Amino acid sequence: MRPATVEFLRQRFGSYYASAQLSAPGALPQREWGFLFFSSRDDPRMRRHVGFGTRDELADYLRTMAPAHAFFSTAYYDDPAAPTMGAKGWAGADLIFDLDADHIVDPRSTTYPVMLARVKEETHKLIDLLTGELGFAGRDLQVVFSGGRGYHIHVKALSVRQFSSAERRELINYVGGIGLDPALLVRPAADPESGWRGRQRRALAEYLVWLSSLGESGALAHLEALPSIGKGRARQVWAQRERLGTGADPASDKRILPLLLSPENEAWRTRLREAGVRADEPVTTDIKRLIRAPGSLHGGSGLRVTILEPGELEAFDPLVDAVVFGDREIPVEVQRACTVSLLGSDLRLAAGPTSVPEAAAVYLCGRGMAEIGGGSS
């Protein structure tokens, strides 16, 4: 990144922090903070083990330093500014779920707006699961657009604050459907369509429709390649495919389904994963995690890390509602042809010098897709 580009981004971020009304996380004096800065020359490592006693101290730091990225700890500490983790005195942590489009779609094969739309769908699924199945109240959830490619859900219920990493892993396993026993499908249940039993049944139905679409020869080739099925049972599965999992033949279900729905059956596993929520497991299990600070700016996009109530998610458009910079024209040198979608319009750019609205300039420079003014490096 050229010095002129670094200075442009620092000035724009500094201007934002000079006037922004920033919210601070609860129990601010117990939070550790970490920061990354715009610079092509300084040490790129995060500056962390920082603590603030008041919101004014935090605001002054952001205005003065204009960081590219600002993070605070999900954990509560007795001494958050202590230089080692062992000396901080862990006193609990919020429960965090991180939904990143990189874990849901291939960013190389789709556009940024499509990625954001897809990760929003996944966020809706997670909210429904947390409130409908795990018993959290909507008021316990804080939804945060990350400013980049996804959303964070902060669960602030006191009941989870002391959960260990192992207990948090159980929760992330549940929402993702990790470690499910296929035999769950064939056990009697008062409501076979609810929870993971219902998700498994629907995933099985989708898998069997796909199997039928292969035709007999294609389906047999697929089944025979599964170590748990092989040639001996492949024709039996094909013959009974329309009855499996429906309850029409419980004996066949008990005999065949645990073998058919094995971990080696990737076509089945893919559909089961899609039935769950693909959240980032290390974020949830880490009891000393740093997470993006709501109200801060994302150094890779210039978009605001935005707090939402669960009911506000559907109407939220991050490429409009999280944009904080204006339309003043800024000269840039675009590094490669690209399209930028901001404020309801698509800006198609060829490589080379041009002028773009300030919001687009910040976005392009933050992502390394443009430099300011076309000067020498």
**Which residues are identified as catalytic?**
98, 100, 280
- Decide if 244 contacts 236 (C-beta within 8 A): no
One-letter amino acid identity for 343? L
Question: How many other CB atoms sit within 10 Å of the CB of residue 287?
Answer: 21
Give the distance between the most distant pair of CA atoms in the chain: 74
What six digits make up the tokens of 176?
């993702």
User: What is the per-residue DSSP string for 184-239?
Assistant: GGGS--S-TTSHHHHHHHHHHHHHHHHHHHTHHHHHHHHHHTSTTTHHHHHHHHHH
How buried is 66 (Cβ within 10 angstroms: 0-12 exposed, 13-18 middle, 19+ buried)?
buried
User: What is the per-residue DSSP string for 338-370?
Assistant: EEEEETTEEEEE-SEEEEEEHHHHHHHHHTTSE
Burial 140-169 (b: 16+ CB within 10 A, else e): bbbbbbbbbbbbbbbbeeeebbebeeeebb
Burial 71-80 (b: 16+ CB within 10 A, else e): bbbbbbbeeb
